[in-house]
Copies of this chain bind each other. A is one copy, B any other.
Amino acid sequence: MPKVTFNPYSITVEVVEGANLIRAAMDAGVHVNASCGGEGACGKCRVVVEEGEVEAEGAESIGEDDWNVGYRLACRSRVVGDVTVRVPSESLLDRKTLMRRREGIALRPSPIDLQSLKQIGLYNPAFQKRFVKLHRPTAGDNLCDLGRLEKALAKQHDIHHITLDFHLTRKLARVMRENNFEITATLDFSRRRYRFPHLLNVEPGDTTGRHFAFAVDIGTTTVWVQLIDIAGGEIIGTAADYNEQINYGDDIIARIIYSQSERGLSRLQGAVAATVNHLMQRLLKRFALNKEDISHITLAGNTTMTHLFYGIEPKNIRLSPYVPAVCNVPLARARDMNLDMPPHVFMNCVSSVSSFVGGDIVAGVIASGIYKDPRLTLYIDIGTNGEIVIGNKQWLTCTACSAGPAFEGGGIQCGMRATSGAIERVSINPETFEPMILTIDMSKPKGVCGSGLINLIAALSGAGLLEANGKFREDCGTERIRMGENGREYALVYAKESHTGRDIAISETDIDNLMRAKAALFAGYVTLIESVGLTLQDIEQVILAGGFGNFINIEDAVAIGLLPDLPRSRFQFVGNGSLRGATLLALSRDLLEEERRVAGMMTNFDLSSTPGYMDRYVAALFLPHTELDYFPSVRERLRNNGSNGRGEAVQKKA
């Protein structure tokens, strides 16, 4: 991998070939002013190539002379080999700020490793196809078609006492005769309780090589669908889109309320089914597959999303004492859920634990392997609700914190979802207080997504602009801090460089919302761990889940008091744990059996009735926390920066 060295800091990082230079700088913790998100419009991210070469586009802001002596726009440059660049003096930072180098940045989930699944004997899909050659009936052997198939399955595959789905009786005779009495049977071996495999489909000829399944993660905001080649043992494609239910309300509570209106429930069911249909079709089209090739669907979602998908009234979820109707949804025909699938396609649903710890979390626990790991693990899924699981292979506790939608951009003036134009990374020059921002696709910025907000708060705090109580320092010496419509704010992007033509700013109100969210989460896991007589330091592994977690900067998240201040090597990222879990369940009957057991062993805590939670929540309404003992590395840095680290304003030298 090419190495990029940033001077004058002599910081060297390895990047993938073709990496964007300004991203490399961000990764290296090197601040380069950039206010257009990476689009190349602001012309501020000028660097000089000192050794080696980059593949760069020209820019208006770089004249021919400058070009000839090596000036390039970092955001328009791609790394093609070892290279040394100098960040010009106007961008130069106090070296001290560089200590915030991001170790956590490389946390990306490893792909599902099918090879090792196979090695440990867990690659055994519950739904399997078997090719069967039947004897053609004769006068002396005129068993009914079903009897003939049963006999052949017993003889050729040692499969006995099958049960079958009614719809098959209507096509069995035709299918058997379509290809000379050679057929492929699809059987469900998952129902351990039933003891006997369930015949789900028959197809003419040998189709054992064409066997696909879908895994579906139904999020409140986003729906993910993954196409799995069961025969080949591969994940072949993934698609995601907004849950169409968004039209009926942003969060779970709004959806539950809407579900109680006339035809509300069926509209919500139809909306999410439409989203899933559309994603399944997209994948089938992309890989030139037929829906007949699908054998089943495994679905995971939070408890409310699961209720809504299955058309089950969710209203008691939000009424004390918060009782879901069903945590273990029985096998259901996909078609009955308005999915455009043939009648043989059934849906498995990952079990929920309680109203607020759903199948998405159970799937994540399966996907991350906590339930069989001896190490004490903290599993955090940060979304509208922050769901937390703590435990190991012997015990698991879980809870949900009403973190609110702040980390998903909700209730934050400049907040937005992590889509095109969202500022996902922010750095602030501690000398000039000028920002460096990158947007998701390096287009003009529209707003700030969750991971960007964490960056932003950490950067504001790190640059000494924010007090520990979340208020802007008086008299900072930058015009970017000013009085806005909602009180004091920091102007991150000025109107002329924003996509909307309006300033993008973050106010104290926004910051307050974010602090409440992170405080709820922190108080949640501290309460959980302390209620079982352990401390944060006992946690041997922290697993982050959720689409959001994908881009979270561990250092920043610790700095603001969202994540626990543990050795960074203990952090892992599982990606979309829910989707990953659903996919694994489609690939492994043994995991499918584990799933209910795991859901059953997860003890649910209701934080609102757990002593000490509120106190812990209030104590956490600081950056990073009123009690700095929880954040030794942050305290250390604050000391280095000259702060007394007791929740008072960070003292800026400048």
A116 located at the interface, meaning its Cβ lies under 8 Å from any Cβ of chain B in the complex: no
Residue numbers in B under 8 Å from A609 (CB-CB): 139-140
A539 located at the interface, meaning its Cβ lies under 8 Å from any Cβ of chain B in the complex: no
Per a CB cutoff under 8 Å, which of B170, B195, B332 touches A166? B332
**Which of A307-315, A362-370, A445-453 interfaces with chain B?**
A307-315
A527 located at the interface, meaning its Cβ lies under 8 Å from any Cβ of chain B in the complex: no
Q: Are B325 and A172 in contact (CB under 8 A)?
A: yes
Q: Are B146 and A326 in contact (CB under 8 A)?
A: yes
Q: Are A327 and B170 in contact (CB under 8 A)?
A: no
Distance in angstroms between the alpha carbons of A341 and B262 in the assembled complex: 25
**Which of A69-77, A157-165, A380-388 interfaces with chain B?**
A157-165
Distance in angstroms between the alpha carbons of A147 and B353 in the assembled complex: 11
A461 located at the interface, meaning its Cβ lies under 8 Å from any Cβ of chain B in the complex: no
Per a CB cutoff under 8 Å, which of B144, B323, B330, B355 touches A169? B330
Within 8 A of B (CB), among A328-375: 328-333, 336, 352, 354-355
Q: Are B173 and A330 in contact (CB under 8 A)?
A: no
Kindly provide the distance from the CB of A607 to the nearest chain B CB, expressed in whole angstroms: 11
Within 8 A of B (CB), among A129-184: 137-148, 161, 163-166, 169-170, 172-174
A96 located at the interface, meaning its Cβ lies under 8 Å from any Cβ of chain B in the complex: no
Kindly provide the distance from the CB of A269 to the nearest chain B CB, expressed in whole angstroms: 10
A219 located at the interface, meaning its Cβ lies under 8 Å from any Cβ of chain B in the complex: no
Residue of B with least CB distance to A150 = B328
Q: Are A144 and B313 in contact (CB under 8 A)?
A: no
Per a CB cutoff under 8 Å, which of B148, B195, B328, B336 touches A146? B328
Distance in angstroms between the alpha carbons of A173 and B326 in the assembled complex: 9
Residue numbers in B under 8 Å from A322 (CB-CB): 142
Q: Are B161 and A336 in contact (CB under 8 A)?
A: no
**A142-B193 contact, Cβ under 8 Å, with A169-B330, A330-B165:** no
Residue of B with least CB distance to A608 = B139
A324 located at the interface, meaning its Cβ lies under 8 Å from any Cβ of chain B in the complex: yes
**A321-B137 contact, Cβ under 8 Å, with A142-B354, A310-B169, A336-B166:** yes
Q: How many copies of this protein are present in the complex?
A: 2
Chain B CB count within 10 A is highest, among A173, A322, A328, for A173
**A352-B144 contact, Cβ under 8 Å, with A163-B330, A166-B331, A170-B312:** yes
Q: Are A313 and B173 in contact (CB under 8 A)?
A: yes
How many residues of chain A are within 8 Å of chain B by beta carbon? Answer: 52
Residue numbers in B under 8 Å from A260 (CB-CB): none
Query: How would residues 594 to 614 of chain A score, 1 for a CB under 8 Å from any chain B CB and 0 otherwise?
Result: 000000000000100100000
Residue numbers in B under 8 Å from A328 (CB-CB): 146-147
Distance in angstroms between the alpha carbons of A324 and B176 in the assembled complex: 12
A320 located at the interface, meaning its Cβ lies under 8 Å from any Cβ of chain B in the complex: yes
A316 located at the interface, meaning its Cβ lies under 8 Å from any Cβ of chain B in the complex: yes
A630 located at the interface, meaning its Cβ lies under 8 Å from any Cβ of chain B in the complex: no
Residue of B with least CB distance to A322 = B142
Within 8 A of B (CB), among A288-324: 310-313, 315-316, 320-324
Q: Are A161 and B193 in contact (CB under 8 A)?
A: yes
Q: Are B321 and A169 in contact (CB under 8 A)?
A: no
Residue numbers in B under 8 Å from A173 (CB-CB): 312-313, 315-316, 323, 325
Query: How would residues 440 to 464 of chain A score, 1 for a CB under 8 Å from any chain B CB and 0 otherwise?
Result: 0000000000000000000000000
Instruction: Report 28 cross-chain contacts, Cβ distance below 8 Å, ordered by A residue.
Output: A137-B321, A137-B323, A140-B609, A141-B321, A142-B323, A142-B355, A144-B326, A144-B352, A145-B325, A145-B326, A146-B325, A147-B328, A148-B323, A163-B193, A163-B330, A166-B332, A166-B336, A169-B325, A169-B330, A170-B312, A172-B326, A173-B313, A173-B315, A173-B316, A173-B323, A173-B325, A194-B195, A194-B196
Across the A-B interface, the 4 shortest Cβ-Cβ residue pairs = A173-B325, A144-B327, A166-B332, A142-B321
